[in-house]
Structure 1
Amino acid sequence: MSTIYNCFPGGKHKVLTMSYDDGRNGDRKLIEIFNKYNIKGTFHLNSGLIEKYEPLISDAFGKRIPRKEIKELYKGHEVSCHTLTHPTIERCPMTNVINEVLEDRKELESLVGYTVRGLSYPNGSYTDEIKNMLHHVGIEYSRIVGNSENFAMPKDFYEWKATCHHNHDLLKYADEFISLNKTQYLYMFYVWGHSYEFDRDNNWNLMEEFCKKVGNREDTWYATNIEIVDYLNVCRNLKYSADGSFVYNPSIQTAWISVDKVIYQIKGGEQVNFK
């Protein structure tokens, strides 16, 4: 029997994804840095708060990105839900939570022109009941707060914990990630935070140094949160023969696998024989 492993696109075994909340002014500079190093991010927005409140001069968070600029600014990245008004949802009636997510989806989809299918829990707040509800309202993953301090793939996409916040030993984890070379594993480096924190902490140089270090690497796939979810679903949907001698890909999207250390590209609708 052959040894068959799922790979990331291009036959890679490492992926980097970034996740930032609230849609504040700092996203402009953050996206500029991401684009410079071909890194992709997911940006979780509260559509009900956009242009609703003008921040005070002393407000360290800064203004939210205006509606008319969202589609173009986040082009090439992912816009995702963060609920309509950012309540602590574990304290809310379930009907309110459902409306917070659905109305946020509707508004964001009207702005970006594609289905919005992700979420980060506002204030890190959630319950098992909320997790179990999300797929009914079209949400396919949600990020929690905290740091896993590892590069493991998530066991539960509705309780998706990042590797680290950007203020939590970011460059140390970057060096560890770069050094990973065991191709029998899949590794994911997931960074989260808020772009206003860079202005608050005066450490934009940290993100610049990080992206320069980990960006544009041939062994790494750079993806948004939903791209990772979608791709892993394609891999799970591959149909292998009983003896492992061929595989059929019923999906539209291409999948990549390793068979006895040989990389195969399995295009949508294609059957590939290994022997």
Structure 2
Amino acid sequence: MATILKCFPFGKFKTLTMSYDDGKKYDKRLVGIFNKYGIKGTFHLNSGLLGLDIHLKKDEIKDLYRGHEVSAHTLTHPTIARCPSEQIIKEILSDRKNLEDIVGYTVRGLSYPNGSYNAEIKSMLKYLGIEYSRIVGNKDNFELPSDFYEWKATCHHNHNLMENAKSFVELHKKQYLYLMYVWGHSYEFDKDNNWSLIENFCNYVSNKEDIWYATNIEIVDYINLLNNLKFSANSTFVHNPSAKSAWLSVNNEIIEVKGGSTTKFL
């Protein structure tokens, strides 16, 4: 029987994603740094606050975040665990609708405003078109989430960032899939006068052959794709019913399983 391991795209076994909230003007500088080093991020926006104070304007959003992901953060950033269900629904759906009108694609992610959530809110999300949501906090490891509606990052950028980056880059055992997930707010770099921190981080982790650089939703979609592969009982072939390719390691050989195809191993 073949030894089969699921892989990230092109046979990679590590992925890196970034997650930044609120959509304030400092995102312009942060996106510029990401683009310089080929890092991909997800930006969670409150569409009801666009154009107010130091928030970005509506007409800046589409071009600024091109190549990254725009995701929901509720309409007005309330502490939603204290809100009635009707308001929670409006906050999330209105934010989705407004952002989709701006970027022209389906917005399917969320980060909980003020880190506020509970079991009832989690149970509502799939009916509101949300497929993942990030919580606050740091787990200081590189495990894939067991619950995409309670997605905890590896670290905030002010918490052991370079220590975690060094450990992540040096991972070489391929028996697991690893994820480094960094979160924060771009205005914090300006407040703390530490833009050099994120610049140095991006420089350090960039251009690594074994890392897949992805947005939050790209990771969700790809994990779901892997989980939807249909393997034969004797592990001699697999069918991929999805439209996009999946990658597997079969007896240490990297194999692309193209969308809509059946691939034989032996």
Q: Same fold (TM over 0.5)?
A: yes
Deviation at 1:4, TM superposition (A): 1.1
Please name the residue that 2:166 is paired with. Answer: 175
Please report the RMSD computed on the Cα atoms of aligned residues, expressed in angstroms: 0.6
Q: How far apart in 2 are the matches of 1:231 and 1:69?
A: 29
**Normalising by structure 1, what TM-score?**
0.96
Deviation at 1:259, TM superposition (A): 1.1
Alignment of 1:77-96 (within 5 A): 77-96=68-87
Q: How far apart in 2 are the matches of 1:2 and 1:159?
A: 34
Please name the residue that 2:20 is paired with. Answer: 20
Alignment of 1:62-141 (within 5 A): 63-141=54-132
Deviation at 1:262, TM superposition (A): 1.1
Q: How far apart in 2 are the matches of 1:202 and 1:255?
A: 42
- Determine which of 246, 251, 256 is the counterpart of 2:242: 251
Matched, 1:188 2:212: no
AA of the residue aligned to 1:12: K
Deviation at 1:2, TM superposition (A): 1.9
Please name the residue that 1:50 is paired with. Answer: 50
Please name the residue that 1:218 is paired with. Answer: 209
Deviation at 1:270, TM superposition (A): 1.1
Matched, 1:268 2:259: yes
AA of the residue aligned to 1:227: E
Please name the residue that 1:41 is paired with. Answer: 41
Q: How far apart in 2 are the matches of 1:66 and 1:253?
A: 34
**SS in structure 2 of the partner of residue 272 of structure 1:** strand
AA of the residue aligned to 1:93: P
Cα deviation, 1:15-65, whole Å, max 9, x if unaligned, reads 0000000001111011111011111000000000112x33xxxxxxxx111
Matched, 1:31 2:31: yes
Please name the residue that 1:156 is paired with. Answer: 147
Q: How far apart in 2 are the matches of 1:49 and 1:73?
A: 17
> Unpaired segments of 5 or more residues in structure 1?
55-62
Please name the residue that 1:58 is paired with. Answer: none
Q: How far apart in 2 are the matches of 1:267 and 1:129?
A: 38
Q: How far apart in 2 are the matches of 1:2 and 1:254?
A: 20
Matched, 1:233 2:224: yes
AA of the residue aligned to 1:31: V
AA of the residue aligned to 1:195: S
Q: How far apart in 2 are the matches of 1:78 and 1:7?
A: 22
Q: Percent identical across equivalent pairs?
A: 65
> Is residue 8–residue 14 contact of structure 2 (8 Å, CA) maintained in 1?
yes
> Is residue 2–residue 265 contact of structure 2 (8 Å, CA) maintained in 1?
no
**SS in structure 2 of the partner of residue 265 of structure 1:** strand
**Normalising by structure 2, what TM-score?**
0.99
Q: How far apart in 1 are the matches of 2:153 and 2:2?
A: 33
- Determine which of 185, 192, 204 is the counterpart of 2:195: 204
Deviation at 1:240, TM superposition (A): 0.7
Deviation at 1:119, TM superposition (A): 0.1
Q: How far apart in 1 are the matches of 2:154 and 2:84?
A: 31
Runs ≥4 residues deviating over 3 A: none
Aligned residue pairs total: 266
Q: How far apart in 2 are the matches of 1:211 and 1:33?
A: 8
Q: How far apart in 2 are the matches of 1:271 and 1:37?
A: 36
Q: How far apart in 2 are the matches of 1:264 and 1:224?
A: 23
